[in-house]
């Protein structure tokens, strides 16, 4: 039987994982990207990403994160590169603003996620890198950790090629009817998966723009203290600090510590230089003084300015284009898709092959803003 023709547009982690699953299931897949997969404009670029199950009361993403963790470990064994460091994650619950954290233990227990509750003294005794006077308690998730993002992208690309997938360079545009075009001609395929990350918003002004916004995020990496291993992934977990609008990752492979203070920013995806704002430096230094005082005086050793595409409810997008029945739109990262990418890709492949329908939460229609209690991200 002749194989279906399948094209995946977008070689970030979402497109690559979808393409890999389709290719592995016996299909023949062409993957098209404007730039070389792994490039530094993509949302999937950078040293690392946090992988953690915590999603408040949301059992769906909690389960997906656990399944994805197993998938990442399997991929790691298959390719024999280090993709994940299991350094754990510490979720700091700010006094009086901990609905999300309070909702988590019941979800963890239902799903079977190992966790510990630490009070303020226990946090500082176990992880003396942190000073936590404003923190009520913390949830420690020992099986959470850090994905080496750039290497994960290259791993998915390598495996996709190893299974016979084809990778091409090309700028796919859309016409006024939101049909996909390459070099001025319609892009014809039995299945067309569009996984162009934040660029989806511009490509689909009628379908995706009304349910999304693109937000620039600046992050800095700070040196570790001279002669000390205290801020390495072997001694320190990733952390989430919603009360301070921050999260971070310890140093691994010489990265330095990523203490990210989320300052949402405008970004022109194609024209802006990827240089961080001066305000990021001030706010990161102030955050470090408050939370990680042993890093005061350390220097910035690396930086990153890239972006996320945010949906109102922070749920991903996985749905058929309302007017083009062969076009599946896959993405809507909302700042948390990297960790889920192996399961998302498997799911997108299943939807693309019409094995099942997209889950209701990933549909384009019916989006609404969620309150912090309902939101899987707690924001």
Contacts to ligand FAD by CB under 6 A: 9-15, 32-35, 42-44, 49-50, 171-172, 195-199, 203, 217, 219, 306-308, 331, 333, 335-339
Question: Cα separation of 343 and 349, whole Å?
Answer: 10
Tokens at 51, concatenated: 């992988």
Question: Cα separation of 210 and 201, whole Å?
Answer: 9
Tokens at 211, concatenated: 């349910």
Closest residue to ligand FAD, based on beta-carbon distance = 12
Nearer CB in complex with ligand FAD: 101/226? 101
Nearer CB in complex with ligand FAD: 287/338? 338
Residue indicated by tokens 């952390």: 239
Residue indicated by tokens 């408050």: 290
Nearer CB in complex with ligand FAD: 127/247? 247
Beta carbons of 262 and 218 less than 8 angstroms apart: no
Could you give the 3-state DSSP secondary structure of residue 71?
helix
Nearer CB in complex with ligand FAD: 23/228? 23
- Scored b (16 or more CB within 10 A) or e, 337-365 reads bbbbbbbbbbbbbbbbbeeeebeebbbbe
The helix-helix angle for 337-352 and 149-162 (nearest 10°) equals 30
Nearer CB in complex with ligand FAD: 122/265? 265
Nearer CB in complex with ligand FAD: 108/199? 199
Q: Which CA distances in Å does 123 have to 127, 261, 270?
A: 6, 21, 43
Smallest gap from Cβ 168 to ligand FAD, in A, equals 10
Within 10 angstroms of residue 110's Cβ, the number of other Cβ atoms is 11
Within 10 angstroms of residue 256's Cβ, the number of other Cβ atoms is 22
Smallest gap from Cβ 289 to ligand FAD, in A, equals 22
Nearer CB in complex with ligand FAD: 10/376? 10
Smallest gap from Cβ 125 to ligand FAD, in A, equals 26
Smallest gap from Cβ 233 to ligand FAD, in A, equals 14
Q: What is the largest CA-CA distance in the chain?
A: 66
Smallest gap from Cβ 197 to ligand FAD, in A, equals 2
Smallest gap from Cβ 209 to ligand FAD, in A, equals 14
Could you give the 3-state DSSP secondary structure of residue 137?
strand
Smallest gap from Cβ 336 to ligand FAD, in A, equals 5
């Amino acid at each position: 039987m002749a194989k279906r023709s399948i094209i995946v547009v977008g070689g970030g982690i979402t497109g690559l994982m979808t393409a890999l699953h389709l290719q592995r299931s016996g299909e023949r897949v062409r993957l098209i990207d404007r730039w070389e997969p792994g490039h530094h404009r993509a949302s999937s670029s950078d040293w690392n990403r946090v992988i953690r199950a915590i999603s408040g009361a949301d059992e769906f993403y909690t389960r997906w994160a656990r399944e994805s963790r197993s998938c990442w470990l399997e991929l790691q064994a298959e390719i024999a590169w280090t993709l994940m460091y299991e350094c754990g994650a510490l979720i700091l619950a700010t006094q009086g603003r901990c609905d999300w954290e309070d909702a988590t233990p019941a979800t963890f227990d239902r799903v079977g996620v190992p966790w510990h509750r630490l009070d303020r003294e226990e946090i500082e005794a176990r992880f003396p890198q942190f000073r936590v006077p404003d923190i009520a308690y913390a949830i420690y998730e020992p099986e959470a950790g850090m994905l080496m993002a750039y290497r994960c992208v290259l791993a998915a690309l390598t495996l996709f090629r190893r299974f016979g997938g084809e990778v091409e360079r090309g700028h796919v545009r859309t016409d006024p009817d939101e049909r996909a075009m390459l070099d001025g001609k319609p892009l014809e395929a039995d299945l067309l998966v569009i996984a162009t990350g934040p660029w989806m918003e511009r490509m689909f002004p009628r379908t995706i723009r009304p349910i999304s916004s693109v937000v620039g995020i600046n992050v800095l990496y700070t040196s570790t203290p001279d002669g000390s291993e205290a801020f390495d992934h072997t001694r320190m977990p990733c952390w989430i600090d919603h009360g301070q609008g921050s999260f971070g990752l310890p140093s691994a492979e010489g990265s330095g510590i990523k203490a990210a203070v989320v300052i949402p920013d405008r970004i022109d995806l194609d024209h802006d230089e990827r240089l961080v704002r001066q305000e990021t430096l001030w706010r990161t230094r102030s955050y470090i003084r408050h939370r990680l005082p042993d890093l005061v005086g350390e220097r910035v050793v690396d930086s990153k300015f890239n972006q996320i595409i945010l949906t109102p409810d922070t749920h991903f997008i996985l749905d058929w284009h309302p007017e083009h029945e062969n076009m599946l739109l896959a993405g809507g990262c909302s700042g948390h898709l990297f960790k889920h990418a192996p399961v998302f890709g498997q799911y997108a492949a299943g939807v693309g092959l019409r094995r099942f329908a997209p889950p209701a939460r990933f549909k384009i229609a019916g989006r609404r803003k969620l309150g912090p209690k309902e939101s899987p991200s707690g924001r």
